[in-house]
Structure 1
Amino acid sequence: MAAAYASSSIFRARERLVDLFQRAVVAALRTGPIPRHVAFVMDGNRRYARSLGVRVVDGHVSGYYALRRVLEILYLLGVEHVTAYAFAIDNFKRTPEEVDALMSLAQDRLIEFCEHGGVLREYGVRLVAVGNISLCPPGVQDAIRRAEEMTKDNTRAVFNLCISYASRDEITTAVNTTVNEKLASQSPTPITVADLDAHMMTARGNSPPLDIFVRTSGVLRLSDFLLWQCNEDTQIQFIRRYWPEIGLLDIIPILLDYQRKVWSKPASES
């Protein structure tokens, strides 16, 4: 009993030290420019699981905890918009067992994110589901609606959860919606970039153009993610580590690189 209590006390003390270290680093980073919009392709859950000899679904569960960890770091930093690629439309082509496991995980964890003690509740974050949600099972659609309702009044930041998403699908939908609106107008005008901006799925959360695009696991692909939201200033960062391994020590060099490039910009471009 005494040994167990001592072990528990050491663990809690270690957690407090880690938290203090994280907050000190975040405070230092906040003295420099902070990106408004950061996005992640959360790649490598399956390979992470295989590297440990565990079930693929366990890799996805570890990926969920990594997402919660990264969101906390970014919202502490003051990032206003975070977008995460949770499930692509093409992912429906995976085995039924894996798709079912991923959908069940999404259904179970969405509400946990928003409840008391959840990262979105703690930091006043509004959740916005981005994607063709009608392709998801009814239980997941219901969880998404509940999560969005629970967070609709949060105003400090936005979390875009891309589920059943593909950038080409998003752009196609925006073009179709814009064209239909123009045709229905009494005096249609030419389609502009601003028209399409207003009909992108990320416009629901008023998310600005993307500052930093991060992909984990060492794969050098964009994977049909936020292609419209990327722009001439978007910094693309590829990390070799698998998504479940990501933490503060991976975020630090990304933020420092962003700050260095902002500071090195000529005043005329700022």
Structure 2
Amino acid sequence: MAWIQDKELTFWERLGSRVIRAGPMPRHIAFIMDGNRRFAEKLKMKTLEGHSHGFAKLTELTGWCLKLGIREVTVYAFSIENFKRSKEEVDGLMELARKMFTRLLEEQITLEKHGLCVRMPGDLTLLPQDIQELIAKIELATSQYNLCFLNICLAYTSRDEINHAVQELAWGVEQGLLQPSDVSESLIDKCLYTYKSPHPDILIRTSGEVRLSDFLLWQTSYTSLAFQPALWPEYSFWNLWKAILWYQVNHSALQKARDVYLAERKWQQLENDKAQVTEKLKQEGSPLRDPQARQLLLQDCRAKREERIQDFLQALERKRGDFLEKLVSASA
């Protein structure tokens, strides 16, 4: 099965598409693909067959999103908690991943045609070595594409992601690239597994469950949440349509809340900068009320911080790139 099902929409689906595209459209939608096992149980099939049907639904969903102009999709494919399932199921899922990722590498022409960049956020070191190598090949092979993006979260939980980001910041301080005062919410955001993606506009969970299960907790403060009863393999174009419509109904309120938050964060950063300047002037014995000295020092403080942050982020990107390159070399 191809990774992108490019099937034509029905007449009613095309009509529905035109209706919702008249309103504000999401750029990025995230999915908790829940219900594969219940689907298998419902149809009296093996659990792994349910997961295979779930993969088929993902390829269909990717096609819908491309037709609707949604540039980015993130899916929760395998949680770190899923390693606690039976050995038979975990081994079966890993084998399914091998087959699907191998197929993905064979579809370079299709991926290039759609400009699809594939990323796999998560702690890849928890996965079997050969799957790590396949992931590295996929990410490097599609890294130059930028028309649309598919993020498949593997060996992922949000708590692990935030912990990993803190470790990256600690590494930056240890290497002398950062000062402790450089750490901020925006810098933590740039150290997450999902650092290249905007925060999702919509998060959808299927199967009727109404919890986030440790998925994108950091990224979804101002995201429209949709909990839908359909089991993931049974998910339809109209389920997606309803979630987008609900997002449009709440778009203004979400945007307003996001704008207020960003303004508060900007104000807080300014106050922190002013406090640093005041402390520095005290240490130097300079007049605290000299506005020109304060302004020059404030500008210098910001410029040096930005330079340190950019150097740190470049070093972090090289570190991540080296990790993928080593995996590819190991498979040669």
Same fold per superposition (TM over 0.5): yes
What amino acid maps onto 2:189 in structure 1?
D
Match of residue 195 from structure 1 = 187
2:86 maps to which residue?
A: 95
Name the TM-score, length of structure 1 as normaliser.
0.85
User: What residue is the counterpart of 2:159 in the other structure?
Assistant: 168
Q: Which amino acid aligns with 2:107?
A: H
Alpha-carbon distance change, 23 to 89 in structure 1, aligned in 2, over 3 angstroms:
same
| Conserved? CA contact 2:122–2:154, under 8 Å | yes
Letter in 2 for 1:150: A
Matches within 5 A, 1:132-211: 132-185=123-176, 188-190=179-181, 191-203=183-195, 206-211=196-201
Bigger shift: residues 87-96 or 69-78: 69-78
- Alpha carbons of structure 1 residues 104 and 54: separation in structure 2 relative to 1, 3 Å: same
Q: Tell which has more relative contact order, 1 or 2 (C-alpha 8 A, sep 6+).
A: 1
1:252 maps to 241
Q: When the two structures are superposed, what TM-score results if normalisation uses the length of structure 2?
A: 0.70
CA distances 1:202-239 after superposition (whole Å, capped 9, x unpaired)? 11xx21122111111111111000011111x2111101
2:246 partner amino acid: D
Counterpart CA distance in 2 for 1:143 and 1:254 is 33
Closer/same/farther in 2, CA of residues 56 and 263 from structure 1, 3 Å limit: same
Report how far residue 269 of structure 1 moved.
7.2
Aligned length: 253
Q: Which residue of 2 is the match for residue 227 of structure 1?
A: 217
CA contact (8 A) 1:26 1:73 kept: no
Unaligned 5+ residue runs, structure 1? 1-14
The 8 Å contact of residues 111 and 147 in structure 1, kept in 2 or not, is answered as no
Partner of 2:43: 52
Distance 1:209 1:29 in 2: 21
- Distance between the aligned counterparts of 1:269 and 1:228, measured in 2? 14
Question: Where do 1:69-84 residues align within 5 Å?
Answer: 69-84=60-75
CA distance in 2, matches of 1:118, 1:239: 35
Q: How far apart are 1:123 and its partner, in Å?
A: 2.5
Shift of 1:103: 0.8
Other structure's SS at 1:139 match: helix
Aligned counterparts of 1:135 and 1:244: Cα–Cα separation in 2: 27
Which residue of the other structure, out of 60, 69, 77, is the alignment partner of 1:86?
A: 77
Distance 1:130 1:17, change over 3 A: closer
Cα shift readout 1:40-64 (whole Å, capped 9, x = no counterpart): 1111100100000000000000000
The correspondence of residues 104-119 of structure 1 with structure 2, limited to 5 A, is 104-113=95-104, 115-116=106-107
Identity of aligned residues (%): 35
Q: Distance in 2 between matches of 1:111 and 1:156?
A: 22
Q: What letter matches 1:213 in structure 2? A: L
Larger radius of gyration: 2
Residue 4 of structure 1 aligns with which residue? none
| Residues 224, 254 of structure 2: 8 Å contact kept | no
Which amino acid letter does the alignment assign opposite residue 262 of structure 1? Answer: H
What's the offset of the Cα at 1:90? Answer: 0.9
Q: Displacement of 1:91 after TM fit? A: 0.6
1:213 partner SS: strand
RMSD (Å), alpha carbons: 2.4
